[in-house]
Amino acid sequence: MQPRTPLVLCVLLSQVLLLTSAEDLDCTPGFQQKVFRIHQPAEFIEDQSILNLTFSDCKGNDKLRYEVSSPHFRVNSNGSLVALRNITAVGRTLFVHARTPHAEDMAELMIIGGKDIQGSLQDIFKFARTSPVPRQKRSIVVSPILIPENQRQPFPRDVGKVVDSDRPEGSRFRLTGKGVDQEPKGIFRINENTGSVSVTRTLDREVMATYQLFVETTDVNGKTLEGPVPLEIIVIDQNDNRPTFREGPYIGHVMEGSPTGTTVMRMTAFDADDPATDNALLRYNIRQQTPDKPSPNMFYIDPEKGDIVTVVSPALLDRETLENPKYELIIEAQDMAGLDVGLTGTATATIVIDDKNDHSPKFTKKEFQATVEEGAVGVIVNLTVEDKDDPATGAWRAAYTIINGNPGQSFEIHTNPQTNEGMLSVVKPLDYEISAFHTLLIKVENEDPLVPDVSYGPSSTATVHITVRDVNEGPVFSPDPMMVTKRENISVGSVLLTANATDPDSLQHQTIRYSVYKDPAGWLNINPINGTVDTTAVLDRESPFVHNSVYTALFLAIDSGNPPATGTGTLLITLEDVNDNAPFIYPTVAEVCDDAKNLSVVILGATDKDLHPNTDPFKFEIHKPTVPDRVWKISKINNTHALVSLLQNLNKANYNLPIMVTDSGKPPMTNITDLRVQVCSCKNSKVDCNAAGALRWSLSPVLLLWLFSLACL
């Protein structure tokens, strides 16, 4: 089909004018005024007309029906808005939905002002047209469609109609947009012949409040003739959601003694319904208070804001006199501005009366007694206090201080966190002979400071009398440890020193006897009467019982008390070295090949148990009386090592080479040790020492004769 020219349109328009009255040409389906402003009076009177709504479907308004978003109002068939009963508060906005088989539309009623406006209804209700509806000459006439949510079966049901006053014969209506051919698909459909719009299922305003659709007319081939024209579908809210408290648990705190009107906390509920209607207009109230002492109305909640405040005098908010310092309030939120028809939701608010430090701690007694044995440490007495404040706070927890009687810092006091008692301890042993009695002055305070009008009194201090009980103490060696330096190998019976032990029990007359407690090598003896220590064996610095030249022994001093008491003293003997150990060599076995080009045999080292200067430098020699001079050679490498080498190759055999090593002591000490040298066969990278011949003694005939003569004696 070719697009119609302006000339054709004029012809068609002239034909329509011949068939239609001037009034019909001026008619636009829907409310003649879309928005009204109503100033709220002191009260809406039942069945009294508030305003008149004018709706026309341009077809005679056959089967006209009205729906109001608020259950408190209705619109009569003549368009008169009336209240169903006397009401004083209705919220902020009302919606009126009008519908006939040919058209439908929605009007918005905005309620403003308050109860202080006076005058007759005719003066009070003034309305203004804020959304002028242009009267355009167009073919497709589309008015917004209002559909209440939660409609029940049957479906589909007609909800509106699109009118095309100039639709060519054979053309069709087409509907597009979210809810039709876009997700969520299939909610709405249009009769392509009549323009009737229908809904196929129940709508939920809380899922989607409006749908923006588009209407156009097409030819039989689907080509657009006119449009698209926007079609708005508005889902009218129903009160189908209860208020909910989402942010729990709700716990508030208020300090005891707080002034009346102190804000404790805020309770806020959420309603998923339309916030522009009474369906989401919430009011709060306290349903229940537990406990209900000392007053059943300890708190008040602002019905609009949800603020919980105290409403009792500060004297009743005394935590120490309350049966329970914790209150539970059942808070109710009701929509529809709190009217009986509204839905409700509840939550529990817990309010804790917090403690402040308005009571000082007090000792249960003015004086405390304690007894402790001399020499002992640990807790000797628990000091008890009373405090009326909350045990879970610093207003109750006690802090103790010794303010007099502790110059030597022998005592300390700590708080038991479970009982709040003061645990007085001895941290340095007490001596009965110095002082048998001690008197301490203790004060107690709280961790938190007291409130300004409360102070610490005489009951916050106490006296502790401590009696020290005498015990038989063991004798004490002086000095301890005892130290002496002696040369090793001193003669047996040499006196080392005289031990001295005294009895701390100076007020008692006791005798002391001495004995050996630990003497690992068995070298010492002590006189039991006078404590003289002498040797019973030769002292040896190289003994395994000596460590770093120091020998350690322990002695006992035992008094004559009943029962006897024992003291232990330590003797440290530092032993000076004497050159009493000859050096020795290592290794004592070596191997060499019978055809070796390098005639070096082995590097020898020497060591000595003695200390410097009785050790190195060492002197290495071959004991020449028994060794040919032209076969072996020894050369010094350093103070502790020497090289043994051959002057010529030897036959495969085992040889003993006497090595003489001498230390640097005065007088020096010498040691002769045989070095066993194995001359082996070394062929084809294999060393064979097993087939060595008989041991060959490198001894001169004279020496052999001398040894033989010794054997015959």
H or E element: which one contains 601?
strand 600-607
Q: How confident is the model at residue 533 (pLDDT cuts 50, 70, 90)?
A: very high
Share of the chain above pLDDT 90, in %: 63
Task: State pLDDT tens for residues 240-278.
Answer: 999 999 998 999 999 999 999 999 999 999 999 999 889
- The CA distances from residue 227 to 9, 30, 140, 195, 217, in Å, are 16, 20, 8, 14, 7
- Residue 241 near residue 343 (C-beta atoms within 8 A): yes
pLDDT at 120 over 80: no
Q: How confident is the model at residue 629 (pLDDT cuts 50, 70, 90)?
A: low
The total of other beta-carbon atoms located within 10 Å of residue 379's CB is 15
What the block records as the tokens of 342 is 């509204």
The reported pLDDT for the residue numbered 694 is: 41
The reported pLDDT for the residue numbered 382 is: 97
Q: Which of 606, 643, 650 is nearest to 628 (CA)?
A: 650
Task: State pLDDT tens for residues 410-440.
Answer: 999 999 999 999 999 999 999 988 899 999 9
pLDDT at 391 over 50: yes
- The CA distances from residue 3 to 8, 18, 223, 225, in Å, are 10, 24, 11, 8
Q: What is the distance, to the nearest Å, from the Cα of residue 162 to the centroid of all Cα atoms in its chain?
A: 65
CA distance 713 to 711: 6
CA end-to-end distance (rounded Å), the chain: 157
pLDDT-wise least confident of 368-382, 557-571, 674-688:
674-688
Taking only Cα atoms into account, the Rg of the chain, rounded to an integer number of angstroms, comes to 59
The residue ranking higher by pLDDT, 555 or 628, is 555
pLDDT at 530 over 50: yes
- What mean pLDDT comes out for the span 570-589? 93
Ranges 26-35, 127-136, 243-252, most confident? 243-252
Task: State pLDDT tens for residues 539-550.
Answer: 999 999 999 999
Q: How confident is the model at residue 26 (pLDDT cuts 50, 70, 90)?
A: low
- What mean pLDDT comes out for the span 475-501? 94
pLDDT at 13 over 70: no
CA distance 486 to 644: 41
- What mean pLDDT comes out for the span 372-376? 92
pLDDT at 651 over 70: yes
- The CA distances from residue 354 to 264, 315, 394, in Å, are 11, 14, 12
Helix (H, G, I), strand (E, B) or coil at 352: strand
**Placement of tokens 């007319």 in the chain:** 217
- What mean pLDDT comes out for the span 689-698? 50
Task: State pLDDT tens for residues 668-677.
Answer: 999 999 999 9
Share of the chain above pLDDT 70, in %: 89
Q: How confident is the model at residue 138 (pLDDT cuts 50, 70, 90)?
A: low
What the block records as the tokens of 611 is 């200390």
The reported pLDDT for the residue numbered 90 is: 72
Output the DSSP codes for 559-585: E--SS--EEEEEEEEEEEP-S----EE
CA distance 297 to 286: 9
pLDDT at 5 over 80: no
- Residue 188 near residue 197 (C-beta atoms within 8 A): yes
**104-112 and 35-39 as β-strands: parallel, antiparallel, unpaired?**
parallel
Q: How confident is the model at residue 113 (pLDDT cuts 50, 70, 90)?
A: low
The residue ranking higher by pLDDT, 260 or 626, is 260
**196-199 and 104-112 as β-strands: parallel, antiparallel, unpaired?**
unpaired
The residue ranking higher by pLDDT, 121 or 385, is 385
Output the DSSP codes for 377-398: -EEEEEE-EE--S-TTSTTT-E
- Residue 244 near residue 280 (C-beta atoms within 8 A): no
Q: How confident is the model at residue 281 (pLDDT cuts 50, 70, 90)?
A: very high
The reported pLDDT for the residue numbered 2 is: 39
The reported pLDDT for the residue numbered 548 is: 94
Q: What is the mean pLDDT of the chain?
A: 86
pLDDT at 59 over 50: yes
Output the DSSP codes for 188-240: EEE-TTT-EEEE-S---TTT-SEEEEEEEEE-TTS-EEEEEEEEEEEEEP-S-
CA distance 307 to 268: 9
CA count, 13 A, side-chain hemisphere, 266: 4
The reported pLDDT for the residue numbered 626 is: 67
The reported pLDDT for the residue numbered 111 is: 83
pLDDT-wise least confident of 376-390, 457-471, 492-506, 683-697:
683-697
Q: Which of 344, 335, 338, 287 is nearest to 87 (CA)?
A: 338
- What mean pLDDT comes out for the span 108-136? 45
Q: How confident is the model at residue 598 (pLDDT cuts 50, 70, 90)?
A: confident
Task: State pLDDT tens for residues 158-190.
Answer: 999 998 877 888 899 999 999 999 999 999 999
pLDDT at 49 over 50: yes
Cα angle: 530, vertex 533, 534; to 5 degrees: 130
Q: Residue 34, exposed/middle/buried by CB under 10 A (0-12, 13-18, 19+)? A: middle
**482-487 and 495-498 as β-strands: parallel, antiparallel, unpaired?**
unpaired
What the block records as the tokens of 695 is 């041991």
Residue 437 backbone dihedrals phi, psi, to 5 degrees: -140, 145
The reported pLDDT for the residue numbered 199 is: 95
